Copies of this chain bind each other. A is one copy, B any other.
């Protein structure tokens, strides 16, 4: 049966051949013909199509093997642009990127999500247009928009569902509103999910199973399994902030339970603990500043937060068996104390099989993880085989 597989007939359209080039590496026509199994003439025709759409461009000549050197072709990320929108509880981060998520122009500013969808989204459309201009691109070059929101989102419809910190946004048709203005596809997801996506695509594209953990005022995570973001039944997957921490003190959490991870290890929780110890710490940023200034009490508190986080992440490791955990969010900027605490507990509490190939690292995308993820989500939608085929006809 399997043997017959190799006789299976004809492959691929132009859109699928294009997927091979998305990694940015230049390839010759012969390369593509060998990989796809198609005739050289067919490949040549597809190259012409993709070139005339501007999606690929000649990338110089490869080295000769004795005769005429072959011409190579590579993905041309600058062909179009997308708008990436990362909305947090109190800030907004906009970026215009090319199709390889290179940031062409960006804008970061305080903005309260609680102002409601009308105010926030009209701010987005206004500054989205301006940013496009700053990047020197025209509206017709914009092919899609990706948005991250600080709450649970049903990804298929793009509507927030019962978002605790932005109640006015419940069930708002965010894609519809933005599409009316920009005239393109609009993809929406949870902010932690898009951070996970951003980190995955830009820093760890070859990893298939990873967990991205955002530690800031709250705590959340995004799950990549088998190479893709997993959102769960209602889009609420990764919500680890309210998992009970084993052996934690019975601290009251805003969710009503006691001993939640967020109540003992979030930036807010650490700040509260430091105030109780007589230090001046109101916000997560204050905690980071204290630790960076070398304050021992703050460092010790952060390491303990790491241990508490670690005891929850150990459970996540057992359940998901990722090969990578990435720690992001503002608290991750406070140095190695947090991650040291995490490692301490995770490697002790998990089985060897799950930890032998497990790395635990800090975010590389840092504050840009959100927009990079929003960009990646928008790009994915637009560079799918079907979308490419539609574009070039």
Contact = CB atoms under 8 A, between A and B. Distances in A.
Given A226-B231, A237-B319, 19 more contacts: A4-B391, A4-B393, A5-B386, A7-B16, A7-B390, A161-B353, A231-B321, A232-B320, A233-B321, A233-B323, A234-B323, A238-B319, A238-B321, A239-B351, A240-B318, A244-B246, A244-B314, A257-B348, A312-B315
A82 B10 CA distance: 29
Contacts of A238: 319, 321
B10 A16 contact: yes
B234 A354 contact: yes
B354 A236 contact: yes
A162, A233, A353, A389: most-surrounded residue (chain B CB, <10 A)? A233
Contacts of A228: 226
Nearest to A161: B353
Interface string A345-360: 0001111111001000
Contacts of A2: 185, 390
A221 interface: yes
A7 B311 contact: no
A257 to B, nearest CB: 6
Contacts of A357: 233-234
Interface in A306-353: 311-312, 314-316, 318-323, 348-353
A20 interface: yes
Interface of A: 1-12, 16, 20, 35-37, 143-144, 152, 161-162, 184-185, 208-209, 221, 223, 225-226, 228, 230-240, 242-247, 255, 257, 259, 311-312, 314-316, 318-323, 348-354, 357, 382, 386-387, 389-391, 393
Given A37-B4, A353-B161, A390-B8, A319 B243 contact: yes
A86 to B, nearest CB: 22
Please give the count of copies of this chain that the complex contains: 2
A5 B315 contact: no
Contacts of A348: 257
Contact of A5 (B209, B259, B319, B387): B387
Given A7-B37, A152-B353, A233 B246 contact: no
A291 to B, nearest CB: 27
A52 to B, nearest CB: 16
Contacts of A10: 8, 10-12, 16
A265 to B, nearest CB: 14
A242 B318 contact: yes
